[in-house]
Amino acid sequence: MTGARGGLVLCAVSLAALLAGAVTAQETQAPPTDDIVSDEAFDEALPTLDKIPDATPETPAPPVETPTPDATVTVTETAPNRADALPAVTVDDQELEAPLPALEGYDVQPFQAAAEPDRDLPEIRYTLQVDGLWGRMKDRFKDLSALEDGDGKAANTAMIRARANEDEALILRLLKSEGYFDGSVMTTLAPVTGQPDQTRVAITVTPGNLYRLNAIDIAAQPTAPPDLIRNSLPLKKDDGIVADTVLAAEANVSLEMQRNGYPFAKIGARDIALEDLTHTGDYKLNVDTGDRSRFGGFRSDGDIVFQPDHVEVLTRFERGELYDNRKVDDLREALVATGLFSSVGVEPVLSGEKAPDGTSYVDLLVHQQKGPSRTLSAEVGFSTGEGFQASASWTDRNRFPPEGAVIYTGVIGTQEQSLSATFRRSNDKRRDRSTQFGLSAAHNVYDAYDANTAALTWSRSRVSTPLWQKVWTWSYGAEILATQEISTDLSRPATNSNIREVFYLADLPIRIGYDRSDDLLNPTTGFRLGIQTTPEVNLGDTGAPNVKTLLDGSYYRAINDKMVIASRVRLGTQLGAQLDQIAPSRRIYAGGGGSVRGFAFQGLGPVDADGDPTGGLSVFEASVELRYRLGDLGIVPFIDIGQAYPEDMPTFSDLRVGIGVGARLYTNFGPIRIDVAIPLSRRDNDPQVALYVGIGQAF
């Protein structure tokens, strides 16, 4: 290749020489009539290939001398011997050879642009009109549009065009997400006549044909039952190929697989082959089912709070049951409800053990991170009849693991002062079971009685909480108390009616509840029923055995999404003893918050000669509320009626009525309640206006 290139160069040189000779001949003699160069002369001028010299010269060229820095550099260009040839160029540049100065000698300063006077660039305003979008696509476009986000203002037309280009791409994506794969978008920008700073942007959308599903194919391992995956995929032929619908259908497959024994099921890649002519698509879904599994044992890692044996107490399933992800979620929520974790997670892991039917056992690995177990809380409240009350409590929820809590509580109020210590073990041997021991001392001062009481209590219960509202709840227990009370001797005249007595009592309280309402603190539909009975015996010389029974019922009905009608009724009776044989603090009372609002606390029912309430042996109460909610605020007009009676069965006579209105502030832990009520047909000792503040609805 080197020799060939050399030959071509020589040929070009020879041809140039020939052309130069021809020009010389023209200048010295008249042009001949024949050809300027004959063929024979042209052929003789061409060199032969075998005469091309070797590309590597035998004698090396002499070295080029490098001029000294002070020397004059002369560059000579040899030009053809023509009249119009340019003269030789000589460059004398000694500075190019001089050594460069050190960088330290430079004072480098940032470039300072010349200050220009402030000026406001003209702003272009535009209006946007979009035709061809509807429903969900239209709403999504408004949320994501660059033109909409610009609020009709832009620095120039180029900016408007750039935003329009973004919106065109957005609309095409929205069309495809709704199954319109052939859609097109056209945008026009037009100035408004007579308003040079106004531009009208019009976007016209042509959605094209909706593509629909044709064949639906699933590639997966065999399952039990065989049609589990297909029945879990809510897609059918002729459905529109809508992205949200397809994704939701695939998510449902994953969900149903994990609910039916496949904890490791994974949704693979989907493939939708579109057919332009028929506007259809063949759908194929790949599913890796993993092992069909059953519940096995438990493991724990992290900062351990519960050992595996207590984790098992919190479950609602037995070993060997088919794996169901809902029961795993339930376990995780039960762990969270203990309040002892900063974070907790539950993950299925293969145990390597097989069941007799070939399924695999999976262990549940609980990732635990311990959280703070001690809390200090305080509460302040006020109600007419009970006055101010402040309470504080300190709780160590895991003082005696697992879930053995110690609670100390103190109450200071205008009519109550008390101290109590409680030990409570939650989830005691079974989920949702609590065992509690308590010791308390209290001083209560009311119009009906003045009591100093010490009590020792024990209970076993299954109750609802805001997180776990249960249909059936119950509790039973025992209570031993000693109480010294100043009360009214109903057989004496008013001036000598106060007497002091000491009662030693033993109670066996039992309560059963049935709850079909939709929320514990703010019910809107359903009903609740509850019955509590408390057999009581006297352990000393004062008092008499009796049984107090209270029946409560409430009903809730939503008129619309903002308005709820709530109603309540209570009936109570106390059998087996006369009124003066029962300790005043153990009698039945009515009036006040949670009873008949507008009247004094415990103010309804029989009174003594001084006008102070004595309590009764039976009670009837009823309430109706209209709960109207608007956002986080609500207004609640209400009416309450009721009365306590000295007879052991309600006579429904002399019913007292309280009316009022309440305000509600709805929070994430329940409504804060403020009620103002006035009593109708009030007596001298009844307040003119009553105020009640609390958390949760009145009932």
Q: Which residue has the higher pLDDT, 238 or 45?
A: 238
pLDDT, tens digit (0-9, with 9 covering 90-100), for 39-67:
666 556 555 544 444 444 443 444 444 44
Give the distance from CA 246 to its chain's centroid: 23
Virtual CA dihedral for 269, 275, 281, 287, nearest 10 degrees? -20
Lowest-pLDDT choice from 106-115, 228-237, 257-266: 106-115
pLDDT digits (tens, 9 = 90+) for 552-577: 999 999 999 999 999 999 999 999 99
Token pair of 344, please?
């907790």
The kind and range of the H/E element at 636 are: strand 633-645
SS3 312: helix
* Residue 364 contacts residue 348 (beta carbons within 8 Å): yes
Task: State how far the Cα of 598 lies from the Cα of 689, in Å rounded to an integer.
Answer: 6
Query: Could you tell me where the beta strands, DSSP code E, fall in 8-167?
Result: 124-131, 153-154
Does residue 442 surpass a pLDDT of 60?
yes
- Per the listing, tokens 């003082």 go with 399
pLDDT digits (tens, 9 = 90+) for 144-167: 999 999 999 999 999 999 999 999
What does the pLDDT average to over 648-664? 94
Mean pLDDT of 571-598: 93
Provide mean pLDDT across the span 313-334: 95
CB 212 within 8 A of CB 279: yes
In this predicted structure, the answer to whether residue 248 has a pLDDT above a threshold of 70 is: yes
**Concatenated DSSP letters of 341-397:** EEEEEEEEEEEEEE-TTSPEEEEEEEEEEE---EEEEEEEEEETTTEEEEEEEEEET
Which of the residue ranges 447-456, 494-503, 623-632 would you say has the lowest mean pLDDT? 494-503
The span from the CA of 145 to the CA of 201, in Å, is 13
Q: What is the pLDDT of residue 496?
A: 52
Whole-number pLDDT of residue 39: 60
3-state SS, residue 10: helix
Name the average pLDDT for the chain: 84
Give bridge partners of residue 187 from the DSSP assignment.
Answer: 203
CA distance 293 to 260: 9
Note the pLDDT tens digit of each residue in 278-309.
Answer: 999 999 999 999 999 999 999 999 999 999 99
Placement of tokens 């065009």 in the chain? 161
Task: Report the amino acid identity of residue 573.
Answer: T
Whether pTM > 0.85 for this model: the answer is no
Contacts of 243 (CB under 8 A, 6+ apart): 176, 177, 178
Query: Taking residues 17-37, what's their average pLDDT?
Result: 39
Q: CB neighbours (10 Å) of residue 540?
A: 11
Angle at the Cα of 454 from the Cα atoms of 450 and 458, rounded to 5 degrees: 130
Nearest partner of 479 among 440, 448, 427, judged by Cα: 440
- Kindly state the tokens that stand for 570: 């209570």
User: What DSSP string runs through 175-191?
Assistant: HHHTT-TT-EEEEEEEE
- The 10s digit of each residue's pLDDT in 473-495 is 999 999 999 999 987 666 555 55
Phi-psi region of 310 (alpha: psi -120 to 50; beta: other; left: phi over 0): alpha
What confidence tens digit (pLDDT) does each residue in 4-26 have?
A: 333 323 233 332 332 333 333 33
Cross-sheet strand order for the sheet of 266-275: 212-219, 280-288, 266-275
Q: What is the model's pLDDT at position 637? A: 97
CB neighbours of residue 685 within 10 Å: 14
